[in-house]
Amino acid sequence: METITTRQKENEVAQTVQCYNALDGKFGTLLENNDYFVTSPNSETMYMPNLGPCRITQRKDFYYGADDHLLYPQPFIPFRCHWASIPRRPLYDSDPLAKWWKSLPDNAFIMENGAVEGLGKWDKKHVARYRKDVDAIRARAFSYKMARRSTGKEVNELVSVLNEQLYRTLHYLTSMVFPLLRAQQLWATFRRWYLELLGALDWVEIMKPIMDGQELPTSSSRKVASKAMGAFVHHVRDCENLFVASIPLWYIRPRSELANVQIRDKPTDIHSPATIKICTEPFSNRIIYQGRADDTQKALAIEKHCLEVIDCGNPFDSVLVVHNTMSSSSDSPPTSHFRIVKKSKNTKKKRESNRVAPYTLSKPTSCPQPQRDKFAEIRNEVSLPVADVWVKALNEIDRTLRPPKDSGKNSGYAFPDPNMILFAPKEKRFRMLKSWTRFRAVLIFRHMMPASFTSGAWTSEQWRILLALSETYTSSTSNDGFMAKQRQSVYHLLSECFKFHKLKLNLDNVNTHVFSWRNREVPVRYLNDDEVVKEIVWELFELNFRIEFQALHRRLCVTERQPSRNSIGAKSFEGIYSCFYDSKNVNNPTQVDFDGASKGLAAINLEDRNPYMLPFCRVLVQWPGGDIGTELLKNCTVESDLMQSQLAKLENWAVPFYCQSFYSMYGRPPIIPHCLDKLTTLPEEVYSDYGDPVSD
């Protein structure tokens, strides 16, 4: 870059100051190819613009390098105009905003002890410093919304969505365990939503009224604008708008226009991404965006990537890998596939001869158990209440509409089928719950991973083998014996899930006397307590239903889940949030709120289901075959005006339509939502008195 001045004499400079405008420049610089020059009317620092195509990847500091609008000025994009008003990174740590560009220290991430090494949580004490700022900016966003509505003006959609994403991300990162790398990615996304919301509010509340001539610039507005990131602009109108609001700008023009521009002086500094030491080392080689730096698609690509960090994958997109035979030539189970052995008439004697003590559990002679009807409810001492409309819809599924087995659809389960646990005898149920609570955090997190067969839905048999694991079968167990090999296969399947995040499965590092439940350590004997069992089973019903609902919507909704030009995230997906009591969690359905266990779509009374059933219907009408629901919804704009008969008609269409749609897509009945009457309150002393180990 070469600095330029068109007026050298001090008296000439003094004479031109008064008529100085947005198209003139305090400073000017020729770009390296000398075809363009850049001027700034209101900044004493010059930045080197990127005129060519950009290639965006996430960097090791979890930013996007020189193409990140939190680190470096970007070309002005009208549909993301608030990028220009996002504050610049402060030079001094004493600035209250400085912490929003920093990563949390190493001691802020607390590792958890369990079956998987490498999972942990952010320390609440460190997060608390940021939560105060979040509360303040959310209060500001609420005041803005109320002020706009009181005057009959439209609320900026981007502000609303950024506010919502900020809240959801904070809730997410403080309520689950993660590998360190994913926790750092999530933290970076949380910081990004905050700074973008701050920039968006500054734009709509301070900058835009000045640009529109509704307000005059003040010392306060100029102070806010002077700290803004600013932008490179190519158009006169954008240049004038930013100049009026005092936002730093750098106007890029062809060299042929240089003679008509007055430029006062040389810049004091010329910055480039290299001079301000922006990290360029990649976190991954995945290309997030490649194209023009001033294209709206660039902004959408960055936002889509941020959403993926906090989004839950679709386990039904992964092809289920099941093999018919197990190789006998290898002593170790495969690490890339999970193998299921099909029983044949000739395998029984072979299995008996290969059985080696003490790794084989002898089975008592018993009568064969009856087969479970997957289209009917199980009724026993730990069954959960369920609305009749769901039970009836499940039972009345038209089984002739099952898709062909070779359709390639994954018809497994995202989580263990809770009915499989309810159907088991009490002793077996205890073992299954013990295994589930041991691996629960891991098996929930795996849906945050890139799509693969390890993060996909598993068959009932795969889940059954996993839940049959006991602490006597660990990574050091011999591979002798048929069941030992089966269990080792599950062990290796779990291990494959976590290689990307550098996790290590360690079954030896498990306290078998307690299990973790609702952020407390509980004695394992309480897995025989009916009320505790109900809580665990309810969570499994809710987890399965939420993921199945979203997966089916992704398959059937005609609107692709892409960020819109004026929002972040797809509108077609936003309707799912309001179908649940804890709408803040549904962005990631692997979180559930126990306070809403008796509310929502599973509520027993129709009136209690109404606030959630209507949004449910509005989602379903987007699916093929939803025309009937569209007709029923025509006169249902105000929920309070709906009659009992109208609600019943809507529900009697929506629930069977959902159940049939799921069956026709995946070839099995869906997991339906259930209700939990009350939460268990265990005596405080049980949390410290673990008692004697409970034998399997």
Q: What is the pLDDT of residues 33-48, one digit of tens each?
A: 778 889 899 988 889 9
Say which residue the tokens 């709906």 belong to.
Answer: 642
Is 471 buried (19+), middle (13-18) or exposed (0-12) by CB count in 10 A?
Answer: middle
User: Does residue 689 sit within a domain?
Assistant: no
Mean pLDDT within 183-205: 96
User: Does residue 486 sit within a domain?
Assistant: yes
- pLDDT at residue 182, rounded to an integer: 87
Residue 639 pLDDT > 60: no
The confidence band for 672, taking pLDDT boundaries of 50, 70 and 90, is very high
Tell me which residue of 130, 133, 118 sits closest to 174, measured CA to CA.
130
- Say whether 565 sits in a helix, a strand or coil: coil
pTM over 0.85: no
Residue 524 pLDDT > 70: yes
- pLDDT at residue 641, rounded to an integer: 59
Residue 334 pLDDT > 50: no
Residue 677 — φ and ψ, nearest 5°?
-65, -45
Q: Using CA atoms, how far apart are residues 276 and 269, in angstroms rounded to an integer?
A: 11
- pLDDT at residue 6, rounded to an integer: 52
Looking at 51-60, 357-366, 514-523, which range is the least confident one?
357-366
Answer yes or no: do 160 and 24 share one domain.
no
**Can you list the positions of beta strands (E) in 368-518?**
504-505, 514-517
User: Does residue 690 sit within a domain?
Assistant: no
- pLDDT at residue 693, rounded to an integer: 41
The confidence band for 336, taking pLDDT boundaries of 50, 70 and 90, is very low
User: Does residue 449 sit within a domain?
Assistant: yes
**What's the number of domains the chain is made of?**
3
User: Does residue 13 sit within a domain?
Assistant: yes
User: Does residue 221 sit within a domain?
Assistant: no
* Whether 444 contacts 590, CB under 8 Å: yes
- pLDDT at residue 640, rounded to an integer: 53
For the ranges 354-368, 635-649, 662-676, the maximum mean pLDDT occurs at 662-676
User: Does residue 682 sit within a domain?
Assistant: no
- pLDDT at residue 341, rounded to an integer: 36
Answer yes or no: do 525 and 633 share one domain.
yes
Answer yes or no: do 553 and 416 share one domain.
yes
Domain end marker among 175, 208, 241: 208
Answer yes or no: do 388 and 468 share one domain.
yes
Looking at 13-17, 30-34, 39-43, 582-586, which range is the least confident one?
13-17
- pLDDT at residue 430, rounded to an integer: 94
Q: Using CA atoms, how far apart are residues 657 and 619, in angstroms rounded to an integer?
A: 12
Answer yes or no: do 237 and 193 share one domain.
no
Q: Using CA atoms, how far apart are residues 417 and 634, in angstroms rounded to an integer?
A: 37
* Whether 162 contacts 169, CB under 8 Å: no
* Whether 405 contacts 399, CB under 8 Å: no
Looking at 157-161, 163-167, 184-188, 318-322, which range is the least confident one?
318-322
* Whether 6 contacts 13, CB under 8 Å: no
Mean pLDDT within 609-626: 90
Residue 322 pLDDT > 70: no
What Rg, from alpha-carbon coordinates, does the chain have? 30
The boundaries of the domain holding residue 234 are 1-86+228-296
Answer yes or no: do 538 and 602 share one domain.
yes
Q: What percent of the chain has pLDDT over 70?
A: 78
* Whether 655 contacts 389, CB under 8 Å: yes
- pLDDT at residue 454, rounded to an integer: 64
Cα distances from 272 to residues 67, 275, 670, in angstroms, run: 12, 5, 55
User: Does residue 308 sit within a domain?
Assistant: no
The confidence band for 353, taking pLDDT boundaries of 50, 70 and 90, is very low
Answer yes or no: do 199 and 249 share one domain.
no
Mean pLDDT within 410-422: 93
Answer yes or no: do 446 and 543 share one domain.
yes
Answer yes or no: do 233 and 202 share one domain.
no
**Strand 74-75 with 231-233, pairing:** parallel
The confidence band for 116, taking pLDDT boundaries of 50, 70 and 90, is confident
Answer yes or no: do 528 and 617 share one domain.
yes
Spell out the alpha helix ranges (H) of 121-218.
124-150, 157-173, 180-202, 208-211
Answer yes or no: do 152 and 67 share one domain.
no
Answer yes or no: do 188 and 331 share one domain.
no
Residue 547 pLDDT > 70: yes
pLDDT digits (tens, 9 = 90+) for 200-216: 999 999 999 999 999 99
- pLDDT at residue 417, rounded to an integer: 96
